[in-house]
Structure 1
């Protein structure tokens, strides 16, 4: 099959980002086989650098705009290195009225060696959501406090859960404390202050 022989990482996804079909090159970037990628969320496999990019694309797809969409992403390679690059998604369908699938191509732009001393990357919004959850906030309350929608809060929680392998919200909060994202010994819970570069371990 020609799709399998293409050297560029390629996948076909539904409009929600679930992988329907992936070639070996795409699977290799995730350290797995094409069959195991089926049903996975492409934006959890390859983390967007900016959530606003994803929101704009989702709105455009909802309005059935047919354009090429590009998202800057990063992901953990099988070697442990942090890679970064760009996902390009093209809506494809047999007829104009049909709900399109997305032909997704990955362009690898480079990688950074993994360092155990490197701080765990979370955005200020993600840290705020985690602090609110640690204090017992519901998803709706967290949405009001951060100015996000409920779907927006759930999007960030899904990303964090996939990144850290957390099975539920309790485990997600526990990981946030263990990784130093949330400050210890304070109430209400709050994000830990960022470590200045000069104070980071060598």
Structure 2
């Protein structure tokens, strides 16, 4: 007797299997207390676990497809050069990166991001597997006024001093409007000022913006 066609569950497709394993991996990551993210090589966030999203008072889905450098300041540009060279040479190693960030409710934190290059084959452009570890900053060497801002934040302050809107700043800097607001809010908390006008005044007072110039600009060769 021939089996009746159409009876019983349809065989699972490879795509269904990939979705199942992806969901299992996400559930596993959410139980890891270490902040972890998977980021495309260009910087777009693909996956974050709950511990990483919690650093900014957000849910994992709210960080997806955003730019990782909207949330972290890279303290050592040599890391980017090392990653670019590793991709060119098809290397798959770990790379440490010094970073800073400001949690949703708190003072700026410093730490080390361990970057793993991951891909199915060496020829593919890899994704970045990031794991974050906070470290204490020595009290005897606090950062000076200029080092409190990243290059992106300095450019945002210069644009704000010109009177640009959030949308205009976002187009100029190459981040989202939410990214601009995040950086401004982070600076406001760090400098303890209430609005953009006070932020711009503080930027001039600390030398982040060049005095006596128009349009507002970041000093070409800052001292200190």
Structure 1 residues 3 and 178: alpha-carbon distance in aligned structure 2, compared to 1, 3 A threshold? same
Tell me how far 1:62 sits from its aligned partner.
3.6
Are 1:182 and 2:209 matched, yes or no? yes
Q: What CA deviation, in whole Å up to 9, does each residue of 1:66-124 have, x standing for no partner?
A: 11111100000122211000111111222333332221100111379xxxxx8462368
Where do 5+ consecutive residues of structure 2 fail to align?
A: 1-26, 139-143, 163-172, 186-195
Q: What CA deviation, in whole Å up to 9, does each residue of 1:29-86 have, x standing for no partner?
A: 1221100110122233111112232233233224322111111000001222110001
Tell me how far 1:13 sits from its aligned partner.
1.1
* Counterpart pick for 1:52 among 78, 81, 87: 78
In the TM superposition, 1:10-159 aligns within 5 A as 10-110=36-136, 119=145, 121-122=148-149, 157=173
Contact 2:91-2:122 at 8 Å conserved across structures: no
Q: Number of residues paired by the alignment?
A: 166
Tell me how far 1:129 sits from its aligned partner.
11
Tell me how far 1:190 sits from its aligned partner.
5.9
> Which of structures 1 and 2 has the bigger CA Rg?
2
Q: What CA deviation, in whole Å up to 9, does each residue of 1:133-161 have, x standing for no partner?
A: x99xxxxxxxxxxxxxxxxxxxxx45895
| CA–CA distance in structure 1, aligned partners of residues 134 and 60 of structure 2 | 18
TM-score (norm 1): 0.63
Question: Secondary structure in 2 aligned to 1:98?
Answer: coil
Q: How large is the Cα RMSD of the aligned pairs?
A: 4.2
| CA–CA distance in structure 2, aligned partners of residues 27 and 127 of structure 1 | 25
| CA–CA distance in structure 1, aligned partners of residues 29 and 97 of structure 2 | 22
Where do 5+ consecutive residues of structure 1 fail to align?
A: 113-117, 136-156, 166-171, 197-202
| CA–CA distance in structure 2, aligned partners of residues 92 and 195 of structure 1 | 39
Tell me how far 1:18 sits from its aligned partner.
1.2
TM-score (norm 2): 0.57
